[in-house]
Structure 1
């Protein structure tokens, strides 16, 4: 009986992430199809529409939007629009949370994570994994930061968010770990190992 239960649990543990991932993918595709399908029908006759055109439209739309963001003038317009959006109380919380979360996986922000470190968290001997984001404050006007301090971002496990701490260099230890492995380790509370071990 124990063997059957162990086998069932093993299968359950393996299949839940798969089902959840597929569910999110289908939900995202369905949302894109519903939203962009209306745009397709608005531009072209209804008889031209075939289910799936909404998702197909999303690919060039995202690509061209990325191209537009390369333009300084369009980027300025987008930043102005974004500034207006984050002034709306409820929308601000949702938008900024999603923006900050997705930006963690961009190559630009990974470049801003200068080093994966262990941060000594008093009291006691506990340590937290974080990322050095600013190692030199010489060009800033923050008078409360001393020369021997750095900025370290510490993400939270199993949720969106984190905290930025200004801490003395002596309380930070650099470790030989990639940003991707560190993000995976933190996001799963240490359960997931490196990409090579999973």
Structure 2
């Protein structure tokens, strides 16, 4: 009896969690329908709400925005809009900060979350998986003695929250592990472990290229 129950859980729990996450994502993306005129809403045109229509609309908007931003005229309009936003107090600071973070995370030339690393945390006798995000900057560098790197330590099982740390480069170890594999390892609380690889010589994180 217990065996069959556990087998049922192993089959149904992943399906239920996957369905819940997909429902959350689609429901969030469907909010784009709030910007569509009432006369064009699916409930008016088709007589019923259809889940996923807003998600398709959102993806289409993102795709078309990318097409326009890579077009000469569209790029000019985007830069003009950014200049106007930067003239608005408070909004300019918020937009500038968010844009800088998004450029770092999503740009193909950025270095954020390109490398999974192993660090001692929260104390010297325990370790966790983190992600290299760069090096300290600004006035912070004037107060750090030695060679430091910036890392992001995600929480489990929700990696979207975590801690930003600056650590000595010698204490940070590169992992022969993809970012996707590291995220699965973190989200699963260590249950879904990456495949084992031959152990290389223990060396600290390589110095940045000059």
Q: Is the counterpart of residue 153 in structure 1 residue 148 in structure 2? A: no
Please identify, of 61-70 and 45-54, the stretch whose mean Cα deviation from structure 2 is larger.
45-54
Measure how far apart 1:69 and its partner are.
5.8
Q: Is the counterpart of residue 18 in structure 1 residue 28 in structure 2? A: no
CA distance in 1, matches of 2:104, 2:6: 33
Confirm or deny: 8 A CA contact 1:41 1:49 kept in the other structure.
no
Task: Name the structure 2 match of 1:84.
Answer: 91
Confirm or deny: 8 A CA contact 1:40 1:49 kept in the other structure.
no
Alignment of 1:115-154 (within 5 A): 115-121=115-121, 123-135=123-135, 137=136, 140-142=138-140, 143-154=142-153
CA distance in 1, matches of 2:111, 2:27: 33
CA distance in 2, matches of 1:32, 1:134: 31
* TM-score, length basis structure 1: 0.65
For the residue of structure 2 that corresponds to 1:112, the secondary structure is coil
CA distance in 1, matches of 2:195, 2:84: 35
Aligned-residue RMSD, C-alpha = 4.2
> Which stretches in structure 1 are left out of the alignment for 5+ residues?
88-95
For the residue of structure 1 that corresponds to 2:157, the secondary structure is coil
Measure how far apart 1:60 and its partner are.
1.6
Distance 1:109 1:130, change over 3 A: farther
> Which stretches in structure 2 are left out of the alignment for 5+ residues?
197-210
Measure how far apart 1:177 and its partner are.
1.0
Measure how far apart 1:127 and its partner are.
1.1
Confirm or deny: 8 A CA contact 2:117 2:131 kept in the other structure.
yes
* TM-score, length basis structure 2: 0.62
Measure how far apart 1:163 and its partner are.
0.8
Please identify, of 173-182 and 14-23, the stretch whose mean Cα deviation from structure 2 is larger.
14-23
